[in-house]
């Protein structure tokens, strides 16, 4: 039945959820008995067809040998690595329902796998954008980090949570969608808390907002577009170029796609990049084989205009990547901190961003970034507590002070 009335649809959805909740509480988990697990495990021929197809190289036949002897404990390790793609089920010519055997053998793990996900809330409202737009455009809220993607890599739950918390603690706005949002609801700290338990849900500095399913990635982009529309009065209709120019030069958003699965995911990411939002893939993004990385060795490729004077200028090299890959979580965190910088950052905002970038680089790589001179426009951009250290670094480079333009890459936006 198609319900077109929104209020009726809301009533039906709530009542359906309430009724199903009782059924779910009573449901039989359907897990196999120990005898059934041993029987299935006894059929394994160690052909390794499942291993060859498993994206995370789980040695299923070893676990089957243990299970045949009645030892199921090792399946918990397999469950922690398994990304649930079910390729092994299809690969096994003996017909062993591998994932079902795994779930059943790790019964305690499976039955206690309960998360706590904040409700997906849909689009960011104009009122919320008005509250954060100004500090965002001038860099005082250091940025928005969007965690999306299929989370189908080992340890992705923990890694997404560690990355998100690094930026929540630093007062970034963190938003999430789809499987990444569920991962954040599954990973718990030593006290059994998820990030949803620890951080508020507001779209504001230090808030963690779940936008909804992966289709809601559009709402993350929508928030950036609304900043351009509300603050710069850029018309929305037929005005892609000017809005993308605004986002690219002023709105410090980075999308992190930690686990890629489909061509749809790549289509979403290239869509974000077209709007001037850098996208960072985890290691599995390697399969897409196409990146958009700036040539920092060729400053002339960052050419644009000062909208005040009309002069052609070399814009700040930030973001310096629009589609890129991080080989591990540490590299991703550093890249996020760098790619939230924007040519339009005010001095106060740039100071905040530089101090996070330096701090994060030292924390995860143990060194000061070697490209710092590219992001410091004049002495006002240097965090006061780091001044001596930064000046010593700058003196070893060809750094010279530069003016801060009103940045644009669209010549018709020059006001002169």
The mark string for 247-276 relative to ligand SF4 (x by CB under 6 A, - otherwise) is: ------------------------------
Nearer to ligand SF4, 90 or 240 (CB): 90
Rule CB under 6 A: is residue 106 a binding residue for ligand SF4? no
Rule CB under 6 A: is residue 67 a binding residue for ligand SF4? no
Angle, in degrees to the nearest 10, between helices 329-339 and 347-365: 170
Rule CB under 6 A: is residue 46 a binding residue for ligand SF4? yes
Member of 45, 213, 378, 397 binding ligand SF4 (CB under 6 A):
45
Nearer to ligand SF4, 49 or 257 (CB): 49
Shortest gap between Cβ of 329 and ligand SF4 (angstroms)? 19
Rule CB under 6 A: is residue 277 a binding residue for ligand SF4? no
Rule CB under 6 A: is residue 117 a binding residue for ligand SF4? no
Nearer to ligand SF4, 259 or 319 (CB): 259
Nearer to ligand SF4, 51 or 218 (CB): 51
Sign of the torsion angle spanned by Cα atoms 177, 178, 179, 184:
positive
Shortest gap between Cβ of 382 and ligand SF4 (angstroms)? 47
Rule CB under 6 A: is residue 376 a binding residue for ligand SF4? no
Nearer to ligand SF4, 157 or 381 (CB): 157
Shortest gap between Cβ of 257 and ligand SF4 (angstroms)? 19
Rule CB under 6 A: is residue 91 a binding residue for ligand SF4? yes
Shortest gap between Cβ of 288 and ligand SF4 (angstroms)? 20
What span, in angstroms and rounded, lies between the C-alpha atoms of 225 and 344? 16
Rule CB under 6 A: is residue 99 a binding residue for ligand SF4? yes
Can you tell me which residue has the tokens 């920092």? 296
Contact 232, 246 (CB under 8 A): yes
Nearer to ligand SF4, 78 or 221 (CB): 78
Can you tell me which residue has the tokens 């994932």? 99
Shortest gap between Cβ of 268 and ligand SF4 (angstroms)? 23
Member of 64, 326, 352, 358 binding ligand SF4 (CB under 6 A):
64
Rule CB under 6 A: is residue 47 a binding residue for ligand SF4? yes
Residues that bind ligand SF4 (CB under 6 A): 44-50, 53-56, 58, 60-61, 64, 82-88, 91-92, 94, 96, 98-99
């Amino acid at each position: 039945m198609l319900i077109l009335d929104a209020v009726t649809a809301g009533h039906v959805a709530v009542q359906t959820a309430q009724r199903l909740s009782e059924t779910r509480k009573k449901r039989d988990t359907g897990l196999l008995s120990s005898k059934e697990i041993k029987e299935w495990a006894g059929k394994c021929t160690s052909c390794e067809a499942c291993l060859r197809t498993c994206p995370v190289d789980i040695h299923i036949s070893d676990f089957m040998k243990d299970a045949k002897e009645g030892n199921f404990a090792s399946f918990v390790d397999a469950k922690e690595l398994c990304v649930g793609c079910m390729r092994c089920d299809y690969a096994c010519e003996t017909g062993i329902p591998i994932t079902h055997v795994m779930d059943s053998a790790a019964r305690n793990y499976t039955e206690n796998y309960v998360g706590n996900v904040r409700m997906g809330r849909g689009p960011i409202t104009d009122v919320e954008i008005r509250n954060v737009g100004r500090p965002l455009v001038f860099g005082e809220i250091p940025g928005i980090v969007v965690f999306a993607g299929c989370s189908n890599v080992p340890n992705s739950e923990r890694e997404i949570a560690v990355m998100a918390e690094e930026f929540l603690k630093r007062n970034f706005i963190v938003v999430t969608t789809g499987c990444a949002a569920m991962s954040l609801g599954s990973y718990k700290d030593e006290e059994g808390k998820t990030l949803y338990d620890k951080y508020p849900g507001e779209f504001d500095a230090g808030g963690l907002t779940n936008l909804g399913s992966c289709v809601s990635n559009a709402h993350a982009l929508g928030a950036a577009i609304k900043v351009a529309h509300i603050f710069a009065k850029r018309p929305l209709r037929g005005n892609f170029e000017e809005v993308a120019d605004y986002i690219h030069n002023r709105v410090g958003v980075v999308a992190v796609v930690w686990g890629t699965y489909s061509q749809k995911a790549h289509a979403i990411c290239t869509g974000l990049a077209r709007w001037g939002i850098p996208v960072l893939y985890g290691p599995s993004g390697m399969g897409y084989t196409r990146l958009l990385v700036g040539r920092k060795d060729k400053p002339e490729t960052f050419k644009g205009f000062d909208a005040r004077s009309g002069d052609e200028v070399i814009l700040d090299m930030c973001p310096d990547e629009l589609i890129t890959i991080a080989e591990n979580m540490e590299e991703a965190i550093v890249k996020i901190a760098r790619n939230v910088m924007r040519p339009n950052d005010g001095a106060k905002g740039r100071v905040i961003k530089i101090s996070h970038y330096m701090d994060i680089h030292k924390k995860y790589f143990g060194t000061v970034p070697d490209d710092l001179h590219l992001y410091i426009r004049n002495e006002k951009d240097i965090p006061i507590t780091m001044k001596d250290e930064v000046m010593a670094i700058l003196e070893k480079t060809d750094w010279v002070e530069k003016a801060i333009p009103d940045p644009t890459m669209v010549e018709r936006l020059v006001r002169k």
